[in-house]
Amino acid sequence: MSAEHTSRIIGPILRWLHPGISLARIEQVQFVVRKMAHVSEYAVLALLIFRALVNTTRRARFAGAVLITLLISGAFAASDEFHQSFVPSRTSSVRDVMIDITGAILGMTIYGSFVHKRIVSAKA
């Protein structure tokens, strides 16, 4: 899913939706879509890792499981970017690692808000 490959998908869709769209605007939209994909992928990954940790270690504390989840997600993001440095059509970026970690934090924040809401409604 390099920029070269996603432009083959996003560009035609944008041209179909808005025939007069400029190349610069297509590149901007493509950039935003690609970065949002990073965020959403790592939010889901963090939720899956967290669920695995909590379900395999019954005594896991919430904060500890969240910290371990974020560390695993960050390590996976860094290793993925390292791998991309060897793929000719891809580039590696520390910024992408930070975006990925932000996605993992977002996933944990969303999960935490649901848990907090459930606890508050159970006490009421």
Rounded Cα distance, 11 and 88, in Å? 22
Cα three-residue angle 33-74-63, rounded to 5 degrees: 110
Rounded Cα distance, 64 and 20, in Å? 51
> Model confidence over 39-55: pLDDT tens digits?
999 999 999 999 998 87
pTM: 0.79
Q: At what angle do helices 23-56 and 3-17 cross, to 10 degrees?
A: 120
Distance of CA 85 to the CA centre of its chain: 19
> Model confidence over 59-84: pLDDT tens digits?
668 788 899 999 999 999 999 999 99
